Structure 1
Amino acid sequence: MADQNDLYKYFEPTVQHNTLALSNIHTLTSWGVGTAAGILGLTGWNGFIFFLLSWVVISAAVLTIKCEGKPSVFFKSGTMDVVGTPVLNTLLSYVLVWTLMHALVYIYD
């Protein structure tokens, strides 16, 4: 059973707002990173390594700048909400934009 303090630790509308803001950050940066990867002509594993490196940088920036080093204050699962949870949805957006931009730039090579 949950402790009485844990039940009222988070105000749900604020947590939902933080989650939405984090989702917007991840989506927009995945589009930007996908565009960069497509324009740079990255293919295969190089593109996925580029995504992973950018994911680490973006997650570290969110943890240090937006969360002020204390993600458990803003999210129920703490660091897992910032780093782990949205990675698959962001990866799908990244691959979509990456392949689109690569095709647009290098279609006549």
Structure 2
Amino acid sequence: MATTTDNAAQLIFAPNVLHNQALTSVKFLSSCFAGAVAGILGLENWLGFALFIASIVSTSFIIYAINCRGKPAKYLPGGLGELVNPGQDNIFTFILVWTLFYGIIHVYD
């Protein structure tokens, strides 16, 4: 029977730590891609942020279903809450890429 100490030790197990870094990279790239899409489509105000939220939710669902196999607590210390949390750096990345692509594409509109 696994105890909470075993679960905590498993979170620092090297393959799980490498998996956490991969999940962080996937969420970061998802934010970049969503920002580019929002900028190219010319979304403004709440529509752009709605796209960001949809991107985070869909990415989290894919990670939950495929990578974590329905057990995010095994790979992330916060479990499902940590999986859905977009993170401060991902929000800023989204806004940066969104404004960059919006400025490049829609500069003369």
Question: TM-score, normalising length from structure 1?
Answer: 0.86
Distance in 2 (alpha carbons) for counterparts of 1:24 and 1:43: 26
Structure 1: which 5+ runs fail to align? none
Indicate if the aligned counterparts of 2:10 and 2:16 stay in contact, CA closer than 8 A.
Answer: no
Deviation at 1:87, TM superposition (A): 2.5
Moved over 4 A (4+): none
Match of 1:102 in 2: 102
Q: Are 2:74 and 1:73 equivalent residues in the alignment?
A: yes
- Cα RMSD (Å): 1.9
Q: Structure 1's 3 and 28: CA in aligned 2 closer, same or farther, altered over 3 A?
A: closer
Name the SS for the 1:76 alignment partner: coil
The number of equivalent residue pairs is: 107
Deviation at 1:14, TM superposition (A): 2.5
Distance in 1 (alpha carbons) for counterparts of 2:64 and 2:14: 21
Question: TM-score, normalising length from structure 2?
Answer: 0.86
Write out per-residue CA displacement over residues 20-67 of structure 1, whole angstroms, 9 at most, x where no aligned residue: 111110111111111100000001111111111111111111111111
Between the two proteins, what is the percent identity of the paired residues? 31
